[in-house]
């Protein structure tokens, strides 16, 4: 039988065989953009990028403390093709019928023995995008907050955090993270924050927003107080859940993806502000991750409208909700591209983007944004572009970066 050679459908000299998939070549256009725009002149920090932790699930399971749970997890993983015997599933067609080639082909990409595979693959896309420092988040575990067994969330998140802080982060200073908090268990959340604060590469902590726990519950106050005292930011990372009753009414992935990410953070941010947590914890830096930007002015106006009519319900608030929202921090991806760019400019103005917005790529997900998405905006000054692409993150996370770390490809 004659062997058929399949090529990834890229044009000209960028065509490559499937068995030769390489992230650096896959992102050659992004690397060309970086050179053309002079991204080697200033630092770029990516505040929301991802890896597929399930590709290293066999390693992560070794960090489970409970031997019975470890055996159950290994059995489930072996019988259900990887990690998904332990993680809540999510419907979606993110590879767009195979057109997003890096999803299936990244598993074929070759890496050497000099570093962990995760580190090698991450640095390849970082160098292509001219990113100096990347904050890594998990991918399938973004839905772990929906697991019906709270003890599973606690155990898996701790195992993941231990694996990440022992196998990945200490071995390359360009990789950082905000570690997963098992928010369905308030006491475990507090203990997790105390255990991992100060570990190499840990810049803060993250709550997956796709869950049904109220952020203003008194049980979380000691965690917020600890993070504020330690100077560690708290992020709420959005996702979507097609099984949610509201989302279940939609019949297209497009619809769920458009609304799910925004709605999850809208609910948590509303509870955060209306229950006066910015007043109670004024020095705690709160970041809203991967929700886009267009929803923020909408929510500002809705909450302000109600506030002026019903101030008696929120006696602890001394200012309108939008004031507190303008003091929070937001990540850029997926940044909406309206037909009228003045709409985006107005959004940037309303959220104080030059000081509160931080660039994020969301790589390697299908809708990732390269740094030029920010740099090419005509209404931003050079100073503001550099602040959003790296300066704001350096300030928020106390990152001391004096030289360019990304290697030109």
Which residue carries 């939008």 as its tokens?
322
Q: How is 36-51 classified by DSSP, letter by letter?
A: HTTGGGS--EEEEEE-
User: What dihedral do alpha carbons 100, 102, 107, 108 form, nearest 10°?
Assistant: 110
Count of CB atoms situated within 10 Å of the CB of 275: 17
Q: How far apart are CA 387 and CA 358, in angstroms?
A: 8
Cα–Cα distance, 266 to 288 (Å, whole number): 9
Nearest to 319 by CA among 298, 330, 302, 303: 303
**Confidence at residue 80, expressed as pLDDT on a 0 to 100 scale:** 53
DSSP readout, 343-401?
HHHHHHHHTTHHHHEE----TTSTT---THHHHT-TTS-HHHHHIIIIIHHHHHTT---
Mean pLDDT for each consecutive 10-residue tract of the chain (409 residues)?
47 59 91 97 98 92 91 74 62 64 77 94 97 97 93 96 98 98 98 98 97 96 99 96 87 92 97 99 99 98 98 98 99 97 98 99 94 98 99 98 86
Which pLDDT score, from 0 to 100, does residue 85 have?
62
The predicted structure's pLDDT at residue 90: 67
SS3 (DSSP) at 73: helix
Copy the structure tokens of residue 40. 């080697």
pLDDT of residue 89: 66
Nearest 5°: the CA angle 47, 129, 328 is 20
Measured CA to CA, the distance from residue 225 to residue 220 in angstroms comes to: 9
Give the per-residue pLDDT at 184. 98
8 A C-beta contact, residue 388 and residue 357: yes
The domains found in the chain, sorted by start residue, are 23-396 (3.20.20.140)
Compute the distance between CA of residue 19 and CA of residue 16 in angstroms, rounded to an integer: 8
Q: What pLDDT does residue 1 have? A: 40
The pLDDT assigned to 74 comes to 80
């Amino acid at each position: 039988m004659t062997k058929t050679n399949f090529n990834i459908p890229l044009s000209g000299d960028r065509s490559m065989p499937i068995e030769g998939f390489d992230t650096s070549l896959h992102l050659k256009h992004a690397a060309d953009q970086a050179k053309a725009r002079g991204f080697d002149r200033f630092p770029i920090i990516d505040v929301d990028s991802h890896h597929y932790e399930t590709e290293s699930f066999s390693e992560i399971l070794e960090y489970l403390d409970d031997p019975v749970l470890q055996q159950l997890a290994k059995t489930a993983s072996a019988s259900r093709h990887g990690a998904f015997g332990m993680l809540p599933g999510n419907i979606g067609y993110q590879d767009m019928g195979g057109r997003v080639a890096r999803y299936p082909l990244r598993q074929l990409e070759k890496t050497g023995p000099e570093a962990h595979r995760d580190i090698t693959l991450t640095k390849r896309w970082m160098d292509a995008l001219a990113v100096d420092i990347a904050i890594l988040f998990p991918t399938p575990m973004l839905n772990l907050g929906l697991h019906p067994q709270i003890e599973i969330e606690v155990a898996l998140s701790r195992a993941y955090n231990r694996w990440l802080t022992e196998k990945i982060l200490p071995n390359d200073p360009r990789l950082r993270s905000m570690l997963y908090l098992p928010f369905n268990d308030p006491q475990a959340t507090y203990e997790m924050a105390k255990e991992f604060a100060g570990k190499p590469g840990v810049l803060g902590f993250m709550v997956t927003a796709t869950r049904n726990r109220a952020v203003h519950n008194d049980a979380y106050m000691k965690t917020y107080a600890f993070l504020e005292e330690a100077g560690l930011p708290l992020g709420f990372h959005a996702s979507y859940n097609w099984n949610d009753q509201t989302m279940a009414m939609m019949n297209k992935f497009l619809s769920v993806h458009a609304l799910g990410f925004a709605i999850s953070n809208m609910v948590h941010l509303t509870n955060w502000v209306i229950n006066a947590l910015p007043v109670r914890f004024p020095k705690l830096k709160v970041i809203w991750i991967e929700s886009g930007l267009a929803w923020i002015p909408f929510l500002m106006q809705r909450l302000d409208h109600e506030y002026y009519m019903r101030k008696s319900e929120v006696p602890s608030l001394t200012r309108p909700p939008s004031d507190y929202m303008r003091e929070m921090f937001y990540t850029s991806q997926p940044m909406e591209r309206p037909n009228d760019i003045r709409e985006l400019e107005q959004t940037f103005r309303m959220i104080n983007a030059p000081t509160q917005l931080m660039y994020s790529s969301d790589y390697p997900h299908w809708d990732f944004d390269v740094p030029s998405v920010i740099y090419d905006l005509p209404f931003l000054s050079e100073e503001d572009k550099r602040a959003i692409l790296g300066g704001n993150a350096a300030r928020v996370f106390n990152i001391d970066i004096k030289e360019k770390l990304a290697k030109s490809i």
